[in-house]
Amino acid sequence: MAEKRRKYTKEFKAEAVRLLAGGDRSLAQIARDIGVSDTTLWGWAHRRSKAGEKVPSAASMTETEEVRQLRRENALLREEREILKKAMAFFARESK
């Protein structure tokens, strides 16, 4: 016998998609936690994004944060390198 199709409120779906956009858990984990299938949750997020709403995936959220962190680190390393170049030039002049 086939399972009855469950209906979910708009609020429930919106909250599920908001959890997904939060980025701290995977789609599969959120789906398990709220008692829906991965495909169902993905479908809700996909429909919202097609409707023009910005719904980043959990993976893209963590990747975005990682890119931000790497850019900050890169800027700091460039700054440190410039300071070392200037120090090297200063000490090279002093030793002559």
Say if 1 falls within a structural domain: no
How does residue 80 score in pLDDT terms, banded at 50, 70 and 90? very high
| pTM of the predicted structure, to 2 decimals | 0.49
How does residue 45 score in pLDDT terms, banded at 50, 70 and 90? confident
Number of structural domains the chain divides into: 1
Of the candidate ranges 3-7, 11-15, 79-83, 91-95, the one whose mean pLDDT is the lowest: 3-7
What residue numbers bound the domain in which 39 lies? 10-95
What is d(CA 90, CA 52) in angstroms, rounded to the nearest whole number? 56
pLDDT of residue 84: 95
Return the amino acid letter for 22.
G
What is d(CA 62, CA 14) in angstroms, rounded to the nearest whole number? 20
Residue 39 maps to which CATH number? 1.10.10
Per this entry, what is the length of the chain? 96
